[in-house]
Amino acid sequence: MDLYSEIILDYFKHPRNKEKLAEATHEAVEHNPLCGDIIKIYLHLGPDNKVDKATFEGQGCAISQAATSMLTEQLSGKTLEEIQNIKNEEIYDMLGVPISPGRVKCALIGLVCAKKATDQQIKK
């Protein structure tokens, strides 16, 4: 079927940036109560106020895991405001497969979590 493209399966089986980021400046957790999925996103803001490292942890379906992993690769170089302005369509384009209404939450959980993280600075 179309949903499980080689790229998505590759990101699911070999996720990029899936690790805890000890030096994170921002972080957030997002649940999907429907399926029990959980995603945690870590951002590190560089001196130029742009994200220079983004990682994630968590568990979930192939779509949520691949989308979040791909997203973390896109976050570097962006300001917090630019992250807040990422549109849902950009995630669908990035995934490149048809996302049915039932899977929208899976596709977007990483983005929702990343936007939440921009608001949640870690107090050190």
> Measured from the CB atom, is 59 or 88 closer to other proteins?
59
Q: Which residues bind other proteins (CB under 8 A)?
A: 1, 3-4, 9, 34-37, 59-63, 100, 102-103, 106
List phi, psi (to 5°) of 57. -135, 165
Q: Measured between alpha carbons, how far is 65 from 32 in angstroms, rounded to an integer?
A: 12
Compute the least distance from the CB of residue 28 to other proteins, in Å.
Answer: 19
Q: Measured between alpha carbons, how far is 80 from 50 in angstroms, rounded to an integer?
A: 7
- Strand-pairing partners, residue 56, are 18, 41
The amino acid sitting at 122 is: I
Compute the least distance from the CB of residue 14 to other proteins, in Å.
Answer: 13
> Measured from the CB atom, is 47 or 102 closer to other proteins?
102
> Measured from the CB atom, is 4 or 77 closer to other proteins?
4
